[in-house]
């Protein structure tokens, strides 16, 4: 049987890229096409090289090593636990896609044998495979976004020497961005955290000292909500962290203070955009 290296590479590259993309959505990892392409490139090269590895033990060992490198390159996880989880998801997605592909080929082969069609199977099977795979991606995205709508995230905001612990309600509809910095905007209820920070003192210091105002990039942001347009004072804190998968991650985000909300948002201190969690 003749194997064309370029075709084998392209097939492996496309399949690996698709598996990485789906895995990233499941793991809620920020989409980075260059890193995904690099990871798929590694997989594509291994797919060709594996043909020349005759020893089964060596082939399995090399395959596992390549998988770990691919996941490190694509998902950028820091802990052993998170990397194990990423590898498990990646393998599961590959098995799912392989099962879909096998089903398509088996079904197509049956039709070919019974002469119900004279269509060339390989192009059709590949096209159906990718269409079904992208449909699976969209389903996963909808499930994950729906789940995230009710997700509560723990985090903290540090302003000067004051660290404020907060509970954020994840909101997939919150796509607010600061026009000046292009950073996502986290909305915090003043009523919920008035016992944790003296807003009047904070804003008085910011407004009276130009250096402090510049440091915190103080401004008023205009936000459009279901209740209409509103303007909120906002700053860039010294440090903002959110908890995800048991680990604390530092993020860059503008924090806007909502004076109209006394009771918070479904009992939480603030609203955080879904995009912020794609770490």
Reference 124, options 136, 141, 112; nearest CA is 112
N residues, the chain: 279
For CA atoms 163, 164, 168, 174, give the dihedral sign: negative
**Mean pLDDT of the chain, nearest integer:** 77
Q: Over pLDDT 70: what percentage of the chain?
A: 75
* pLDDT tier at 274, thresholds 50, 70, 90: confident
Question: Does residue 40 contact residue 16 with C-beta atoms inside 8 Å?
Answer: yes
Q: pLDDT tens digits, residue range 191-215? A: 887 777 777 777 777 778 777 777 7
11-20, 99-108, 153-162: segment of lowest average pLDDT: 99-108
Q: Which domains does the chain have, with CATH numbers?
A: 5-149 (no CATH), 152-277 (2.40.70)
pTM above 0.85, yes or no: no
Q: pLDDT tens digits, residue range 150-169? A: 578 888 888 877 888 888 88
Question: What pLDDT does residue 42 have?
Answer: 93
Q: Over pLDDT 90: what percentage of the chain?
A: 6
């Amino acid at each position: 049987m003749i194997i064309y290296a370029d075709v084998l590479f392209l097939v492996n590259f496309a399949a690996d890229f698709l598996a990485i993309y789906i895995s990233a959505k499941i793991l809620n990892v920020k989409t980075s096409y260059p890193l995904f392409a690099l990871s798929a490139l590694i997989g594509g090269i291994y797919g060709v090289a594996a043909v020349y590895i005759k020893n089964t033990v060596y082939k399995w060992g090399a395959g596992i090593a390549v998988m770990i490198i691919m996941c490190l390159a694509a998902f950028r996880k820091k802990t052993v636990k998170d990397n194990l989880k990423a590898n498990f998801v990646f393998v599961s997605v590959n098995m799912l896609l392989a099962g879909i592909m096998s089903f398509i080929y088996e079904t197509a082969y049956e039709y070919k044998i019974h002469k119900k069609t004279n269509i060339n199977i390989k192009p059709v099977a590949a096209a159906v495979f990718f269409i079904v795979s992208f449909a699976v991606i969209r389903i996963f995205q909808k499930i994950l976004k729906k789940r995230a709508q009710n997700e509560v995230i723990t985090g903290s905001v540090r302003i000067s020497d004051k660290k404020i612990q907060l509970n954020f309600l994840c909101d997939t509809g919150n796509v607010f961005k600061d026009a000046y910095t292009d950073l996502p905007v986290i909305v915090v209820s003043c009523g919920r955290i008035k016992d944790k920070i003296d807003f009047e003192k904070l804003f008085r210091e910011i407004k009276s000292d130009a250096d402090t105002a510049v440091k915190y990039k103080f401004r008023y942001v205009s936000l459009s909500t279901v209740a209409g347009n509103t303007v909120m004072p906002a700053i860039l804190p010294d440090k903002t962290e959110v908890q995800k998968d048991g680990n604390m991650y530092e993020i860059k985000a503008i924090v806007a203070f909502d004076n109209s909300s006394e009771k918070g948002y479904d009992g939480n201190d603030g609203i955080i955009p879904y995009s912020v969690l794609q770490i």
